[in-house]
């Protein structure tokens, strides 16, 4: 297939650009890595971490369910191959719009500087509430595990 055929890839809304964008296994060889786009990471975060349904997550990122599924499947496959084969993971690139900013900072490869990135406030609030619940549940599990370990040490 020649370049330029088919539809242009639609920009996805993402919540943030992570501070840590490179992960390497202990004892892994330098240079061996998989690259995950920011929208693939966002798909994994929404479905696997926040436990949103794919339809709901697709609406949140502003793409069709099929386009979202493609990003999710691709990201999961890359993460799995990195874990199984001991490869590094680099998070970079893609076609995205930052959700929180009114104007994109130009970090996306195909984004326009004047692109608006606002979603209904209800959706943003609902997603943030869900994210807080997931974090609270994780903290509760960590506290419980820590208390259990303290009990073993004392006992």
Are 39 and 104 in the same domain? yes
Residue 137 in domain: yes
Residue 2 in domain: no
What pTM value is reported for the model?
0.66
Residue 82 in domain: yes
Task: Return the structure tokens found at 58.
Answer: 């697709």
Are 98 and 152 in the same domain? no
Are 84 and 41 in the same domain? yes
Residue 5 in domain: no
Are 39 and 93 in the same domain? yes
Residue 71 in domain: yes
Are 83 and 26 in the same domain? yes
Are 111 and 73 in the same domain? yes
Q: How confident is the model at residue 42 (pLDDT cuts 50, 70, 90)?
A: very high
Are 82 and 102 in the same domain? yes
pLDDT at 98: 85
Domain count, the chain: 2
Say which range, 55-59, 95-99, 116-120, 133-137, has the weakest mean pLDDT: 116-120
Are 39 and 103 in the same domain? yes
For 16-24, the CB contacts below 8 A with 24+ separation are 16/98, 16/100, 17/98, 17/107, 18/91, 21/90, 21/91, 21/92, 22/88, 22/89, 22/90, 22/91, 23/82, 23/88, 23/89, 23/90, 24/88, 24/89
- Boundaries of domain holding 133: 120-155
Residue 3 in domain: no
pLDDT digits (tens, 9 = 90+) for 76-127: 999 999 999 889 999 998 888 887 753 444 444 444 333 334 456 676 677 7
Are 105 and 148 in the same domain? no
Are 58 and 72 in the same domain? yes
Are 52 and 102 in the same domain? yes
Are 90 and 145 in the same domain? no
């Amino acid at each position: 297939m020649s370049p330029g055929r088919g539809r242009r890839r639609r920009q996805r809304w993402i919540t943030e650009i992570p501070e840590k964008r490179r992960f390497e296994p202990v004892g892994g060889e330098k240079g061996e890595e998989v690259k995950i786009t920011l929208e693939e990471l966002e798909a994994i975060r929404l479905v696997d971490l926040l436990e949103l349904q794919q339809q709901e997550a697709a609406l949140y990122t502003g793409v069709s369910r099929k386009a979202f599924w493609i990003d999710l499947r691709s990201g999961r496959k890359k993460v799995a191959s990195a874990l199984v084969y001991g490869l590094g993971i680099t998070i970079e690139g893609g076609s995205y719009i930052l959700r929180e900013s009114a104007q994109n900072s130009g970090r996306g490869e195909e984004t326009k500087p004047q692109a608006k990135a606002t979603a209904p406030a209800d959706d943003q609030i609902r997603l943030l509430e869900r994210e807080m619940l997931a974090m609270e549940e994780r903290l509760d599990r960590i506290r419980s595990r820590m208390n259990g370990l303290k009990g073993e040490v004392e006992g």
